[in-house]
Copies of this chain bind each other. A is one copy, B any other.
């Protein structure tokens, strides 16, 4: 893992609107050349569209609890109902910014369970996160392999707010063919001393790197990262789930 060359990050050009059932692997591989050494980072919204996770708010019946929280937070009760249905716990309520920070059914801590309405063609609709983004990453990776014979690693990401700092940063919510953490703990540094705590969130960093090649308005959900082959594995691996802190390891719930 030493000498490193140049990393190239390129948004996949000409990505059309994604419909339910779209084969994203084919859509990506028709638009950019891929090798076994590449990594594709894909933003959550198109995966949600392909997986029919777009919900029309007029189909949602808010519970009494959703109505109450919606009043408290000045939010649409139907959106709050969806947030609650996609969550296992409310971590914080932020009335000033009208957000609920929750633990999602997947185990992510994020605002509004990752539900939002940006870049959706139909008004009155919102996108939920994919049901299992690790599984989605494995499926899209297989779709690419079926279409092309090559097997790049796959990352699905979303932009999450952070504690302590303004602004959102892209983090991985699913991956295949790559480990989320590059663990150096116990290995020697350049001076021969043990790196006691170094455990790098490489897949989150790649998700962030991909995002700087995107525009929020230009329709570039898929990004190819090249030059990171030391991280790509043939096996799909365990996905992003091991990266999430268990409640007992987490000081900030």
* A residues lining the B interface (CB < 8 Å): 1-11, 92, 94, 97, 99, 101, 108-109, 111, 116-121, 123, 159, 161-171, 180-181, 184, 187-191, 193, 195-202, 204-206, 208-209, 211-220, 227-228, 242-245, 249-253
Contact = CB atoms under 8 A, between A and B. Distances in A.
Contact of A252 (B208, B213, B219, B252): B252
A3 B167 contact: no
Given A4-B11, A9-B6, A243-B167, A216 B201 contact: no
15 contacts: A7-B213, A9-B9, A119-B189, A159-B200, A162-B162, A163-B251, A164-B252, A165-B201, A167-B204, A169-B201, A189-B216, A190-B218, A198-B216, A209-B209, A209-B212
Contact of A208 (B6, B205, B243): B205
Nearest to A96: B249
Contacts of A209: 7, 9, 205, 208-209, 212
A166 B245 contact: yes
A177 to B, nearest CB: 16
Most chain B C-beta atoms within 10 Å of own C-beta, residue among A117, A164, A218: A164
B181 A166 contact: yes
A124 to B, nearest CB: 11
A168 B109 contact: no
Copies in the complex: 2
A228 to B, nearest CB: 6
B118 A168 contact: no
Contacts of A217: 1-2, 187-190
A180 B166 CA distance: 9
B244 A3 contact: no
A189 B221 CA distance: 13
Contacts of A212: 7, 202, 205-206, 209, 228
A204 to B, nearest CB: 5
Contacts of A163: 109, 162-163, 245, 250-252
